[in-house]
């Protein structure tokens, strides 16, 4: 039996997709990249904001129209959030599977492909508990890059966000479990480990976590954690990084999604001491206006956020980090209820002063059951769109200026794909350097000779790590030559 996975949404949902693949493989299913040959199509959906919901719904409708014989399962956050409503209205789907406990997928399969009874139309939305984990025999990222989910759910309840409604309260995997997964990924050749969660900074501090629960592999671990002076007093995230730092091997670790209000500076000395931790910080500030930040149910102040980033930059500069600088990614939400022209001006000035290497911006989406849903003083869509364009223009100006820092410098580049060009004298490839996260930042356009190799001495292929000199900046990308 063959299945086709139609993956949508964020990196956290991608890990779920990889887990679903693992479960299907363990049940003897084969994966196909041709949906027309599939017996089963899983739309692993996103249910975060309107455009994403529409994209996932369209995927089901398109699949039904194109592949009438296939069984279609709507999985992921859209199913988690609206299973009962959709079970009534979305007749194109044959099953609805929430993401609270992915290990229960076989129940869906047995209902859809029963051996000796008529198929039913299952709706299964297990309770959100624990953090789904397990075998991921096939990673959906480019070669040698992997996401490692360390938490699930979120306790922050930002007033615009539906994630806590979908994924539930924050709960964390144990340090032991995460380090084991990192070790296994590295031993299978993974070079880039991207730690993810809704809010990495809240790791081990979730309302669904018990005290020190992240330290427990067993009682001994717990007491040794308490007794270990290196550990005592460290934040759970710092303790996790400390443990990852004990792993052998040539790999790199990137931290994605750190809520600014919970940033714990005690991770910095650990990251500086072990250069396998990339000085790449993804910290979504959402706004540069104090009143809007507060209306978003966030605690920080713009000036404190700017100071925090300045402190991070200073910490790496003072330590003479071999990376020479820090890369910063952030996110903004424009058109939030009550956002006046003056408030937006403050956000635009905040971005200009922050000088993030990368940023994404989105127009506020009115999500039911979130606190902002009923807020007054809504911003006209046209105005919100103009503000979005303004922030993008500011970032498009800043990024190349920040990337200029790397011109003339040698960086390691993880090759993602080769660009076939039989006419070209030299070979071309696309890759990413440490200051570029997967999927969301720019790329490195690499030039190399056939005779050249990766740092492992092997021919250059996707997954190779090469040493390259940055020659130029081209918009949000850099051009580099393998040396």
Question: What end-to-end distance do the CA atoms of the chain give, in Å?
Answer: 47
Which segment (33-41, 70-78, 104-112, 154-162) binds ligand SF4 by CB under 6 A? 154-162
Query: Which tokens belong to 447?
Result: 């030039």
Compute φ and ψ for 73, nearest 5 degrees. -110, 125
Which residues ranging from 285 to 344 are in contact with ligand SF4 (CB under 6 A)?
none
* DSSP single-letter state for residue 380: P
Nearer to ligand SF4, 143 or 164 (CB): 164
Mark 224-263 with x for binding to ligand SF4 (rule: CB under 6 A) and - for no binding: -----------------------------------x----
Nearer to ligand SF4, 111 or 347 (CB): 347
Cβ-proximal residues to 215 (8 Å cutoff; 6+ apart), any chain: 174, 175, 221, 222, 225, 226, 231, 236, 239
**Taking the complex as a whole, how short is the minimal distance between the CB of residue 161 and ligand SF4, in angstroms?**
3
Which segment (60-68, 151-159, 406-414, 465-473) binds ligand SF4 by CB under 6 A? 151-159
Compute φ and ψ for 192, nearest 5 degrees. -115, 115
Regarding 198 and contact with ligand SF4 (CB under 6 A), the answer is yes
Regarding 157 and contact with ligand SF4 (CB under 6 A), the answer is yes
Chain mean position to CA 481: 29
H or E element, residue 194: strand 192-196
Regarding 151 and contact with ligand SF4 (CB under 6 A), the answer is no
Nearer to ligand SF4, 174 or 365 (CB): 365
DSSP 3-state of 421: coil
**Taking the complex as a whole, how short is the minimal distance between the CB of residue 156 and ligand SF4, in angstroms?**
4
- Report whether 124 contacts 98 (CB < 8 A): yes
Nearer to ligand SF4, 198 or 356 (CB): 198
**Taking the complex as a whole, how short is the minimal distance between the CB of residue 157 and ligand SF4, in angstroms?**
6
**Taking the complex as a whole, how short is the minimal distance between the CB of residue 82 and ligand SF4, in angstroms?**
18
**Taking the complex as a whole, how short is the minimal distance between the CB of residue 255 and ligand SF4, in angstroms?**
14
**Taking the complex as a whole, how short is the minimal distance between the CB of residue 163 and ligand SF4, in angstroms?**
4
Nearer to ligand SF4, 4 or 332 (CB): 332
Determine the Cα–Cα distance for residues 398 and 83; give it in Å rounded to an integer: 43
Strand segments (E) across 197-276? 252-255
Nearer to ligand SF4, 122 or 130 (CB): 130
| Number of alpha carbons in the 13 Å side-chain half-sphere of residue 3 | 26
Which segment (22-30, 58-66, 152-160, 217-225) binds ligand SF4 by CB under 6 A? 152-160
Which segment (7-15, 130-138, 153-161, 243-251) binds ligand SF4 by CB under 6 A? 153-161
- Report whether 155 contacts 207 (CB < 8 A): yes
Query: Which tokens belong to 26?
Result: 């363990």
Which segment (155-163, 172-180, 388-396, 454-462) binds ligand SF4 by CB under 6 A? 155-163
Directed axis angle between helix 50-66 and helix 77-89, to 10°?
Answer: 60
Nearer to ligand SF4, 198 or 436 (CB): 198
**Taking the complex as a whole, how short is the minimal distance between the CB of residue 303 and ligand SF4, in angstroms?**
21
- Report whether 377 contacts 336 (CB < 8 A): no
- Report whether 361 contacts 388 (CB < 8 A): yes
Q: Which of 72, 161, 361, 478 binds ligand SF4 (CB under 6 A)?
A: 161
Q: Where does residue 86 rank: exposed (0-12), middle (13-18), buried (19+ CB within 10 A)?
A: buried
Interior angle at CA 277, CA 351 and CA 356, nearest 5: 10
| Number of alpha carbons in the 13 Å side-chain half-sphere of residue 311 | 13
DSSP H helices in 114-266: 163-167, 175-187, 219-227, 236-244
DSSP 285-307: -B-S-HHHHHHTT----HHHHHH
Compute φ and ψ for 410, nearest 5 degrees. -95, 130
**Taking the complex as a whole, how short is the minimal distance between the CB of residue 129 and ligand SF4, in angstroms?**
18
**Taking the complex as a whole, how short is the minimal distance between the CB of residue 146 and ligand SF4, in angstroms?**
21
Count of residues for the chain? 483
Nearer to ligand SF4, 298 or 346 (CB): 298
Regarding 158 and contact with ligand SF4 (CB under 6 A), the answer is yes
Which segment (159-167, 185-193, 377-385, 449-457) binds ligand SF4 by CB under 6 A? 159-167
Nearer to ligand SF4, 371 or 378 (CB): 371
Nearer to ligand SF4, 421 or 439 (CB): 439
Within 10 A of 365 (CB to CB), how many other CB atoms are there?
A: 18
| Number of alpha carbons in the 13 Å side-chain half-sphere of residue 409 | 17
Which segment (111-119, 140-148, 158-166, 447-455) binds ligand SF4 by CB under 6 A? 158-166
Nearer to ligand SF4, 166 or 433 (CB): 166
Q: Which of 16, 199, 289, 367 binds ligand SF4 (CB under 6 A)?
A: 199
Residues near ligand SF4 (CB under 6 A) are 154, 156-158, 161, 163-164, 198-199, 259
């Amino acid at each position: 039996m063959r299945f086709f996975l139609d993956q949508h949404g964020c990196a956290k949902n991608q890990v779920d997709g990889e887990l679903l693949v693992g479960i299907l493989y363990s049940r003897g299913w084969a994966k196909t990249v041709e949906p027309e040959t599939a017996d089963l199509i899983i739309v692993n959906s996103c249910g975060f904001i309107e455009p994403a919901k529409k994209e996932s719904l369209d995927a089901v409708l398109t699949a039904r129209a194109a592949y009438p014989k296939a069984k279609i399962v709507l999985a992921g956050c859209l199913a988690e959030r609206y299973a009962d409503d959709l079970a009534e209205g979305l007749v194109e789907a044959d099953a609805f599977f929430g993401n609270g406990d992915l290990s229960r997928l076989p129940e869906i399969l047995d209902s859809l492909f029963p051996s000796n009874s008529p198929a039913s139309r299952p709706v299964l939305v297990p309770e959100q508990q624990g953090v789904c984990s397990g075998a991921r025999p096939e990673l959906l990222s480019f070669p040698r890059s992997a996401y490692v989910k360390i938490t699930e759910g979120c306790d922050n309840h930002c007033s615009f966000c539906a994630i806590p409604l979908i994924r539930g309260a924050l709960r964390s995997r144990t340090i032991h479990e995460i380090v084991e997964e990192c070790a296994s990924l590295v031993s299978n050749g993974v070079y880039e480990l991207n730690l993810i969660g809704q809010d990495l900074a809240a790791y081990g501090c979730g309302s669904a976590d018990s005290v020190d629960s992240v330290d427990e592999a067993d009682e001994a671990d717990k007491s040794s954690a308490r007794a270990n002076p290196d550990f005592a007093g460290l934040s759970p995230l710092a303790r996790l990084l400390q443990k990852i730092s004990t792993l052998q091997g040539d790999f790199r670790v990137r931290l994605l999604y750190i809520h600014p209000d919970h940033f714990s500076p005690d991770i910095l000395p650990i990251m500086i001491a072990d250069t396998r931790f990339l000085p790449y910080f993804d910290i979504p500030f959402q706004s540069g206006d104090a009143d809007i930040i507060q209306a978003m149910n966030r605690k920080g102040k713009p000036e404190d956020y700017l100071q925090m980033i300045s402190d991070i930059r200073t910490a790496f500069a003072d330590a003479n980090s071999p990376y020479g600088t820090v890369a910063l990614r952030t996110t903004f939400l424009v058109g939030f209820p009550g956002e006046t022209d003056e408030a937006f001006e403050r956000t635009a000035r905040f971005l200009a002063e922050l000088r993030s290497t990368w940023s994404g911006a989105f127009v506020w989406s009115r999500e039911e059951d979130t606190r902002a849903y009923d807020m007054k003083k809504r911003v006209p869509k046209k105005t919100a769109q103009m503000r979005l364009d303004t922030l993008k223009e500011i970032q498009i100006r800043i990024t190349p200026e920040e990337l200029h820092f790397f011109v003339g410098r040698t960086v390691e580049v993880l090759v993602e794909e080769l660009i076939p060009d039989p006419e070209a004298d030299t070979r071309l490839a696309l890759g990413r350097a440490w200051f570029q996260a997967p999927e969301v930042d720019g790329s490195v356009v690499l030039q190399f000779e056939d005779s050249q190799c990766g740092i492992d001495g092997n021919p250059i292929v996707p997954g190779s790590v090469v040493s390259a000199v940055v020659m130029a900046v081209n918009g949000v990308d850099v051009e580099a030559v393998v040396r």
